[in-house]
Structure 1
Amino acid sequence: MNKQELVDAVAAKTGDSKAATGEAIDAVIATITGELTKGKTVQLIGFGSFSTGARAARVGRNPATGAEIQIAAAKTVKFTAGKAFKDAVNGA
C-alpha cells in the first residue's frame, strides 16, 4: 500500500474528503518526524512506539574491490510494535 492508497482507505472509512485525509496523514507524519528529530519518543498505545538509536562508526568493505571503508556513526529510527498490533498481525 502506498501513501495515496492509504489516504483513499482512510477517507473511505471516515467519510472525510481525500484532501482533508491527506493533510491529516501529512500532519501525523510531520509531527512524528519532528519529535524524533528532537530525540523524543512517540508512543501510540496499542500500535507501537517510534524512538531513535545510535549506530557506532565502523569499518566496512567495498564488495566490488574488497577495500576497507570507514562508515560514519549515524542516528537510526526504531519502531517497536505494540502488543495489540502484534496480536492482530499474528491472528491471535
Structure 2
Amino acid sequence: MNKTDLIDAMAEHAGITKAAAKKALECALIEIEGALQKGNRVSLVGFGSWSVSKRAARDGRNPQTGETIKIKAKNIVKFKAGSDLSSAVN
C-alpha cells in the first residue's frame, strides 16, 4: 500500500472526500515529524510508537575497495509496533 492507496482507503472508510483524507493524512505526518524533530516520542496506543535515537559515529568499510571509512553520527527514527498491531499481523 502506498500513500495514494492509503488516502483512498481512508476516504472510503470514513466517508469523506479524497481531498479531506489527503489533508488529514498530511497533517498527521507533519505533526509526527515535528514532534520527532523536537526529540519527543509519538505514541498511538495499540498501534505503535516512534522515537528518535542517536547513532554514534563509527568506522565502516567500502565493500568495493575494502577501504576503511568514517561514518558520521546521526539521529535515527525507531518504530515499535503496539500490541494490537502485533496481534493483528500474527
Structure 1 length-normalised TM:
0.96
Write the mapping of 1:33-44 to structure 2, written as runs, cut at 5 A: 33-44=33-44
Mark the runs of 5 or more structure 1 residues left unpaired by the alignment.
none
Give the Å deviation of 1:6: 0.4
- Match of 1:80, SS? strand
Q: CA RMSD in A?
A: 0.5
Aligned residues: 90
Look up the SS of the partner of 2:11 in the other structure. Answer: helix
> How many Å separate the matches in 2 of 1:13 and 1:24?
13
The amino acid of 1:52's aligned partner reads V
Q: Which runs of 4+ in 1 moved over 6 A?
A: none
Kindly indicate whether residue 24 of structure 2 is the aligned counterpart of residue 24 of structure 1: yes
TM-score (norm 2): 0.98
Secondary structure, counterpart of 1:43 in structure 2: strand
